[in-house]
Copies of this chain bind each other. A is one copy, B any other.
Amino acid sequence: MAYTVGQVAGLAGVTVRTLHHYDEIGLLSPSGRSSTGYRRYDDADLERLQHIRYYRELGFPLEEIAAILDDPASDPTAHLRRQHELLTVRIKRLQEMVTAIEFAMEASKLNIQLTPEERFEVFGDFDPEAHAEEAERRWGGSEAYRESNRRVSRYTKEDWLRIKAENEDWGRRIVALMSSGAPADSPAAMELAEEHRQLISRSFYECSYEIHTGLADMYLADERFTAHYEAIAPGLTAYLSEAIHANAISRA
């Protein structure tokens, strides 16, 4: 079977100009020409183009692709295996970027400034183990965190406004309670802690009592989260943390 440039271009989803270019630089020269000078591509040319397209999608420069494809030491299935591996690595990378975006959304939700490192962690030559460990430390089981955060990405602006309003309402009430002098382990405080937990469960992720106490500890340990609650009212961080712990114990 023989094909013209236009046909090949249509099949492969590239422009005719691109095929001309590949011919010019010798990356993909059609196996023959018609008597009138038309390029004629055969099935072997198509297979080569297929590999070219995959390697290109993976970001390889044309020169390097030529070197890879012309390497006599690698049979066709070797290319397939290689492309398969490169693709899965790429997918993993993109999934890390998704997680990073979700983290940024979480931070943005609480008006928390990301550190420069956090902003670009996913782009640098990061240590994957340290990364996983960090997520583990911060979220106490990254699996639940990731799964749950799928929801966040689907929220509209209206959802966000509603969530914000709910949070602010809750904030006003716990500040009022704290200033009234009620202790952090009082039933009223525990009730507000429980409400806090349910707010998270409804809007973000299933927040177990275990995760909730983990969050309480994190609020105390991470100054950026501390700052968030202290900005609402001084002393609120400790008050809330204590209430969360008391609530968790009483429900156990």
Q: Which A residues have a C-beta under 8 Å from some C-beta of B?
A: 1, 3, 11-13, 43, 46-47, 49-50, 53-54, 57, 76-78, 80-81, 83-85, 87-88, 90-91, 94-95, 97-98, 101-102, 104-105, 108-109, 113-114, 116-117, 119-120, 123-125, 153, 155, 157, 160
- Say whether A47 contacts B120, CB under 8 Å: no
- Measured between alpha carbons, how far is A90 from B91 in the docked complex, in Å? 9
Q: Is the CB of A98 within 8 A of B91?
A: yes
8 further interface pairs, Cβ-Cβ under 8 Å (given A11-B124, A47-B114):
A11-B116, A13-B124, A43-B116, A54-B97, A77-B160, A84-B102, A90-B94, A91-B95
A87: chain B residues within 8 A (beta carbon): 94, 97-98, 101
Contact A47 B91 (CB under 8 A): no
- CB neighbours of A88 from chain B (8 A): 98, 153
Q: Could you say which residues of chain B place their CB within 8 Å of the CB of A49?
A: 119
Please give me the residue from chain B that is nearest to A88 by CB atom.
B98
In the assembled complex, the CB of A173 is this many whole angstroms from the nearest CB of chain B, namely: 25
**Cα(A116)–Cα(B48), bound, Å:** 12
Residues of B within 8 Å of A78, CB to CB, are: 157
* A46 cross-chain contacts in B, Cβ below 8 A: 116, 119
Q: List 30 A-B contacts (CB under 8 A).
A: A3-B116, A11-B117, A11-B119, A12-B119, A12-B120, A12-B123, A12-B124, A13-B120, A13-B123, A13-B124, A43-B113, A43-B116, A46-B116, A46-B119, A47-B114, A50-B104, A53-B120, A54-B97, A54-B101, A81-B105, A81-B155, A83-B101, A84-B102, A84-B105, A84-B153, A87-B94, A87-B97, A87-B101, A88-B153, A91-B94
